[in-house]
Structure formats: structure tokens, C-alpha cells
Amino acid sequence: NAGVTQTPKFRVLKTGQSMTLLCAQDMNHEYMYWYRQDPGMGLRLIHYSVGEGTTAKGEVPDGYNVSRLKKQNFLLGLESAAPSQTSVYFCASSSQNRGEQYFGPGTRLTVT
């Protein structure tokens, strides 16, 4: 099993550009999560999903949108990137509510 994979690994955007980060898991997990990790701030939850077709806001959802059209995929979109969105983005999944979470390798995004 590949576990949780993320695409792309690195990306540089200019302010105002848009992009989509893809997270895929092959563990048949119901729950999926998007976090961002910033120096001095730790990991913070952006959005999460409790199943196919559902999404919910986390601690820092502004400027991001998400979609969960298929159970195995969770997409994170930036419609108009800002320098404040420069961060490392991690996706995670779990089989049950409040269950053990498994993380992907991360996407390092720089917005200039």
C-alpha cells in the first residue's frame, strides 16, 4: 500500500495564481484532513472531510476550498494565492472519527 500520497511535492506560485493540491489514500479511510505547518505555529487544520461528498472547516479555512468527490481523494484549492499561504501542506486520513491519523509526505508551497 502507498498509504497517503500528495501531489505535487513542491510548487512556486505568483500572487493571484490558483492551484489545486491533490491528496490520495489507498486505505479506504472515511476521514481526510488538510493541515498547514508554519515555523513557530505548528500544524493547523484547514479543512476536513468525514466522508465522500462532505467537507467541513477547520481552524484556518479562509482562502482555501476543498472537495471530496471520491472517497480516496481530497483536493485543496487556492483560488487566488497570497504570500501568507506560503507553507508546507500536509494531508492525513483516518479510518474512524478521532482515530489514528496517517500523514502524507507534504507539499512545500511558496507564493511570491
- Residues binding other proteins (CB under 8 A): 4, 33, 40-45, 48, 58-59, 90, 92, 98, 100-106
Q: Find, among 41, 37, 29, 44, the residue nearest to 86 by Cα.
A: 37
Min CB(13)–other proteins separation in Å? 20
What is the Cα–Cα distance from 10 to 65, expressed in whole angstroms? 19
Task: Output 81 or 92, the one with its CB closest to other proteins.
Answer: 92
Task: Output 9 or 70, the one with its CB closest to other proteins.
Answer: 9
Min CB(63)–other proteins separation in Å? 19
Min CB(74)–other proteins separation in Å? 14
Burial class (CB in 10 A: 0-12, 13-18, 19+), 101: middle
Task: Output 33 or 64, the one with its CB closest to other proteins.
Answer: 33
C-alpha cell at 41: 505555529
Min CB(73)–other proteins separation in Å? 18
The CA-atom distances, in angstroms, between 73 and each of 23, 65, 93 are: 6, 14, 10
